[in-house]
Amino acid sequence: MTTPTIVLVGHGMVGQRFLEALADRGVTERARIVVLCEEPRPAYDRVQLTSYFSGKTPDDLSMVEDGFLEKHGIELYVNDPAETVDRAARTVTARSGRVFAYDTLVLATGSYPFVPPVPGKDAEGCFVYRTIEDLLAIEEYAKTATTGAVVGGGLLGLEAAGALKGLGLDTHVVEFAPRLMPVQVDEGGGAALLRTIEGMGLTVHTGTGTQEIVTGGDGAVVGMKLSDGSELATDMVVFSAGVRPRDQLARDCGLAVGERGGIAVDEFCRTSDPAVFAIGECALASDGRVYGLVAPGYEMAQTAAAAIADHASGDGFTGADMSTKLKLLGVDVASFGDAHGTAEGCLDVVYSDSRSGVYKKLVISGDGVLLGGVLVGDAEQYGLLRPLTGTVPPVSPEQLVLPAGAGAPVSLGPSALPDDAVICSCHNVTKHAIGQCTSLPEVKRCTKAGTGCGSCVKVIEKLLPAAVDKGLCGCFSYTRSELYEIARTLRLTSFAALLDSHGREEARGGEGCEVCKPTVGSILASLAPTLGIGGYILDGEQASLQDTNDHFLANLQRNGSYSVVPRIPGGEITPDKLIVIGEVARDFGLYTKITGGQRIDLFGARVDQLPSIWTRLVDAGFESGHAYGKALRTVKSCVGQTWCRYGVQDSVKMAIQLELRYRGLRAPHKLKSAVSGCARECAEAQSKDFGIIATANGWNLYVGGNGGATPRHADLLAQDLSDAELVRLIDRFLMFYIRTADRLERTSTWLERLEGGLDHLKDVVVHDSLGLCDELEALMAAHVADYRDEWAETLDDPERLRRFVSFVNAPGAPDPSVRFVPERDQIKPDLTILTIGNLEGATSR
C-alpha cells in the first residue's frame, strides 16, 4: 500500500499547530509530511514579534521544539515557497523547481500587510511590519534615522510604534479612524489609550490618512503628506494598516475565493477541492469571516487535522471567539464578546479614570447577561470576565469594574466559573481540563493552555491546587533556600548550569523566567566570593539575570529618569563632600532630597548622564549606595556619646563600621539597619532588619524589624555585647537569613515564618546548635574581603560603559520623553498629560 503524502504550504504559527495536531493523532507515523516554508527559518511566535527589540533572538521566538521535525519524519524546506499547484495532477511546484505529489494539500499561507496605494509607498525608508526579516531591516535603517512614522493605529501598528521609539526615534502614529485600535476598543477606551500613549512621548494623528510619501533627491523618505492638509517630516515609514489573506496560489489553481478575498472553506476547512484544505488567515470560514487572530487559526488547524486523520468528522469550525488581551507599549488592552454593544437593548456599565489611564466598560443585556467588554489600562479581570460572557455574573456589574476602595470588593475568583468555561481561548481549554492537572508545567504540557498569548496564565495558577508545588517557579521545583545550598555545595557558577542540572525537565535548556532569573542572580552574587566568579553584578551572564534597576546601577523613576544615591556611611559627611554633591546636583540640574535613611538622593538623571555624574562623585570619594539593589541600603545613626549628653556609646563610629562591612551584600530583599547611642532610640533601630541600641555595658542587638507597609518591632537577639561580639552575631544572622529566606522575603516575614521563631534563631546563631557558625562567618569574611565598588569598576571599563545610552543607535542623544517642570526652586517630572482628567464612576445608559 502506498504511503499517502500531505503537503503543507506555509510554516507559520498555524502551520506548526497543524503539524502538532497531526502528530497527536498519529498521522505522521503513517503518512509522508512535506512542508514548504517561504521564510528562511521555521515557525516562530509572530504574536511576540516585538519582543525581538527587547532582547529576544529569532531562536527564542521559535515555535518548533528541538527534535520535533526529526522525531516525526517531517520534511521542511525553508526559503522555498510553493509557486504553482496543479490540482489535476495533484502536484505542487516550489520556487527551487522541486515538484511534490500530494494526496492532501493544506494551504496555510497566512496574510500579507496591506500597503495603501499612495505615491512614494515603495521609496527607500518604507517598510512593513510582519516578519523577523522586516524587523532586521527596520533595525538597520533606524541607525541613520531620527524620526519614524507608523501608518496604522491598530494592534500591530502600536507595536511597531513602540519598536521605533525603543530604537530611539521620535515616533508618530497616523490612524485613519477617529481613535486608536478601532476594531477592539470603543471611543472611551480609545481616548484612555491615546492619553497614555501620548504621555509616553509618541505623537498620534487620528482621523487622518496618508496622501503621499515625500522623497528627497536620493529617493529616500523625507516626509509624509496627510489627508488633513498637514505635512509630517520623517526619515522612515512603517506600514501597518491591516492585512489581507494570501490567496493568490488558490486563485491561480482555480479554487473558490471570497468576493473580498480569502480561500472559501467549509466547516471542516475543505476548499472547493475536497483534496485541498485551507487554515488560518488565508481562509474564508463558512461563517463568511476571515479571522486575523491566532486562536481561530489554531482551531482551524485542529479541525483540518481531525478531518484528514478520520476522514469524517465530528464538530467542525463554525466561528471563533475574537476576544483578545495584550500589552501595547506597556499598556494593558483587552476586549471580549460584544465589545461595541451592538445587541439590541443592551446597557453599558462604565468606569473611567483619566488620571491613571484606566477605562473599563461592560456590555450587559436587559436581563443582566454579560455580553462583552473593553478594558484599557487595567485588564486584570479579563481572565475571569471573558469566560463569564453569556452568563449572568454572580456579582453586580459595578463590582466587576470598580477598583478596590471605590465600591464593594469583588469576591469573584476562578472557582466561580463553570466547568465548561473556556480559560485558554488560544487552545480552547476549559476549566475542567485544567482541573485534571496539578501544576502549571503539567497544564502546558497536557493541554497547551498558557502557551499561546499567555493571558490565561494567572487564572490557571489560581485554579491549581495551592500547596501541591512549593518550587520557586515553573522552572525549578526547589525553593530559594534549596537552590542556594545546591549552588554553594556543587559550586555551580551560572544560571544556565543550575537550570540544566536542577531545573524541571521541561525547563532545561531554556532561559528561565522573570521569577527565577533575578532570584538565582542574587544567590550567585551573594556566593560570588566563595565560588570565585567575581563580584561585579553585570559581568557575563549575570547581566541578563538582573532586575531593571541593576542593569544601570540606578533606580528608574516614573518618567524614565534615574536617581543617584551615593553612600554616606552612618550619615556622616564632610563639608567638602557636601559641596561636591551640591555642585553635581546644580551642574546636572538634579532634584535633591535628604532621605529618612540619612542620605542625599539626586533625582532626574538621564541614563547617558550617569557615568559623568558618578565620575565626579567617585573622584570625591563617594561610592554606590546600592539603592537599586536587593542589598544593604543604610545604617542610620544618632550622634551618640560624642555629642549627645545622653549617649552611652559611639553610635556613629559603629554605624560607619557596620555599613562599610556589609555594603554591597546581596540578599533576598533590601536590608536596613540603625544604631542608637542610648535607650532614647533616636535612630529608630527597632524598626530595622537589624538594629543596635547602646547600653552602659555594650550593645543590644535586635533583629527582624520592619517599618514599611506592615510595621514590626524587632526582637531582642542578644544584649550587652562587645564590639567584636556584636559584629560576629550580625555576620551569622545575615548569612543565615540569606541562606534560608524565600525570594523577596524581608527579615521580618522570614523570622515569623521560621519554624521555632526567635528561639530557633538564637539556637542557631548564638549557641551554634547546628554547627554552622564557622561557615556563616567564613561566608561573610569572604564577602568583606571581595567587596569592590560597582560604579568605580564600571567607570574603569569602556566596555561596561557602553550600556549607558538612551538609544543604542544614537549614543549621544538624550531621551526627549524625559521632561521636567519647575517646582519649589527645583524640578519635578512633567507628567501633566497623564494627570489631566476626571474620575467618572460606574454609570449606565
Is residue 124 in a domain? Answer: yes
Number of neighbouring beta carbons within 10 Å of residue 614:
26
Q: Are residues 120 and 103 in the same domain?
A: no
Number of neighbouring beta carbons within 10 Å of residue 618:
18
The predicted pLDDT at position 407 comes to 47
pLDDT band of residue 840 (cuts 50, 70, 90) is very low
pLDDT band of residue 404 (cuts 50, 70, 90) is low
Q: Which three cell numbers stand for residue 282?
A: 488565508
Q: Are residues 48 and 190 in the same domain?
A: no
For 735-790, the DSSP string reads HHHHHHPPTT--HHHHHHHSTTHHHHHHHHHTS-TTS-HHHHHHHHHHHHHH---H
Q: Are residues 121 and 99 in the same domain?
A: no
Q: What is the average pLDDT across 819-834?
A: 76
Does 838 score more than 70 pLDDT?
no
Report the C-alpha dihedral over residues 572, 578, 581, 582, rounded to 10 degrees: 150
Q: What is the average pLDDT across 485-498?
A: 89
Does 33 score more than 50 pLDDT?
yes
The predicted pLDDT at position 239 comes to 94
CA count, 13 A, side-chain hemisphere, 644: 21
CATH number for the domain harbouring residue 53: 3.50.50.60
Q: Are residues 119 and 107 in the same domain?
A: no
Q: Which region, left, alpha or beta, applies to residue 38 given φ > 0 means left and ψ of -120 to 50 means alpha?
A: alpha
Structural domain ending residue among the three candidates 286, 310, 334: 310
Q: Are residues 337 and 451 in the same domain?
A: yes
Q: What is the average pLDDT across 704-722?
A: 89
For residue 254, what are the CA distances in angstroms to 95, 115, 282, 308? 20, 26, 15, 22
Number of neighbouring beta carbons within 10 Å of residue 779:
22
Place of cell 497527536: 24
Strand order in the sheet with 324-328: 324-328, 331-337, 370-376, 358-364, 347-353, 839-844
Beta bridge partners of 236: 148
Is residue 388 in a domain? Answer: yes
**256 vs 319, residue with greater confidence:** 256
Does 271 score more than 90 pLDDT?
yes
The predicted pLDDT at position 279 comes to 96
- The identity of residue 192, as a single letter, is A
User: What values do phi and psi take at 278, rounded to 5?
Assistant: -140, 135
Question: How far is residue 327 CA from its own chain's centroid?
Answer: 9
Does 709 score more than 90 pLDDT?
no
pLDDT band of residue 614 (cuts 50, 70, 90) is very high
Q: Say if residue 638 carries a ligand binding annotation.
A: yes
Q: Say if residue 678 carries a ligand binding annotation.
A: yes
Q: What is the average pLDDT across 753-757?
A: 87
Q: What is the average pLDDT across 194-205?
A: 86
Structural domain ending residue among the three candidates 257, 277, 310: 310
Inter-residue contact 797 to 534 (CB < 8 Å):
no
Does 188 score more than 70 pLDDT?
yes
Q: Return the top range by mean pLDDT from 355-359, 687-691, 740-744.
A: 687-691
Q: Are residues 221 and 289 in the same domain?
A: no
Does 833 score more than 60 pLDDT?
no
The predicted pLDDT at position 46 comes to 84
Is residue 709 in a domain? Answer: no
Does 408 score more than 60 pLDDT?
no
**207 vs 60, residue with greater confidence:** 207
Inter-residue contact 714 to 688 (CB < 8 Å):
yes
Question: How many domains, the chain?
Answer: 4
Q: Are residues 121 and 97 in the same domain?
A: no
Taking alpha carbons only, the member of 349, 436, 358 closest to residue 393 is 349
Place of cell 559584629: 727
As a whole number of angstroms, the distance between CA 475 and CA 12 comes to 27
As a whole number of angstroms, the distance between CA 690 and CA 673 comes to 5
* Angle made by CA atoms 363, 369, 371, in degrees to the nearest 5: 40
For 588-632, the DSSP string reads HT-EEEE-TTS-EEEEEE-GGGHHHHHHHHHHTT--B--TTSSBE
Place of cell 520623553: 817
Does 81 score more than 70 pLDDT?
yes
The predicted pLDDT at position 844 comes to 32
Q: Are residues 487 and 525 in the same domain?
A: yes
* Angle made by CA atoms 71, 72, 77, in degrees to the nearest 5: 100
Is residue 332 in a domain? Answer: yes
Number of neighbouring beta carbons within 10 Å of residue 833:
15
The predicted pLDDT at position 724 comes to 95
The predicted pLDDT at position 156 comes to 82
Does 313 score more than 60 pLDDT?
no
The predicted pLDDT at position 364 comes to 92
**545 vs 385, residue with greater confidence:** 385
Taking alpha carbons only, the member of 293, 456, 431 closest to residue 380 is 456
The predicted pLDDT at position 405 comes to 46
As a whole number of angstroms, the distance between CA 805 and CA 797 comes to 15
The predicted pLDDT at position 412 comes to 58
Is residue 93 in a domain? Answer: yes
The predicted pLDDT at position 467 comes to 45
Taking alpha carbons only, the member of 77, 110, 109 closest to residue 96 is 77
The predicted pLDDT at position 242 comes to 84
The predicted pLDDT at position 328 comes to 66
Q: Which three cell numbers stand for residue 497?
A: 548550569
Q: Are residues 330 and 249 in the same domain?
A: no
Q: What is the average pLDDT across 703-709?
A: 85
Q: What is the average pLDDT across 285-296?
A: 86
Q: What is the average pLDDT across 178-192?
A: 84
pLDDT band of residue 538 (cuts 50, 70, 90) is low
The predicted pLDDT at position 845 comes to 31
Is residue 823 in a domain? Answer: no
CATH number for the domain harbouring residue 358: 3.30.390.30
Could you report how far apart the first and last alpha carbons of the chain are, in Å?
Answer: 68
Taking alpha carbons only, the member of 445, 456, 397, 452 closest to residue 421 is 456
Q: Which domain holds residue 162?
A: 115-241
Q: Are residues 199 and 348 in the same domain?
A: no
Does 451 score more than 90 pLDDT?
no
SS (H, E, C) 102-118: CCEEEECCCEEECCCCC
Q: Say if residue 682 carries a ligand binding annotation.
A: yes
Number of neighbouring beta carbons within 10 Å of residue 823:
10
Mean pLDDT, rounded, of the chain: 86
The predicted pLDDT at position 50 comes to 78
Q: Say if residue 773 carries a ligand binding annotation.
A: no
The predicted pLDDT at position 410 comes to 46
Is residue 57 in a domain? Answer: yes
Beta bridge partners of 372: 337, 363
For 380-407, the DSSP string reads TTHHHHHHHTTS--SS-HHHHHSPTTSS
Q: Are residues 457 and 334 in the same domain?
A: yes
Q: What is the average pLDDT across 30-54?
A: 87
Taking alpha carbons only, the member of 732, 595, 746 closest to residue 670 is 746
Structural domain ending residue among the three candidates 241, 271, 302: 241
Q: Are residues 89 and 212 in the same domain?
A: no
The predicted pLDDT at position 841 comes to 36
Q: What is the average pLDDT across 764-770?
A: 93
Lowest average pLDDT, out of 95-99, 579-583, 624-628, 634-638, goes to: 624-628
The predicted pLDDT at position 311 comes to 58
- E-assigned strands of 279-366? 283-284, 324-328, 331-337, 347-353, 358-364
pLDDT band of residue 801 (cuts 50, 70, 90) is confident
Does 409 score more than 50 pLDDT?
no
DSSP state letter for 239: E
Is residue 816 in a domain? Answer: no
Inter-residue contact 329 to 51 (CB < 8 Å):
no
CA count, 13 A, side-chain hemisphere, 299: 21
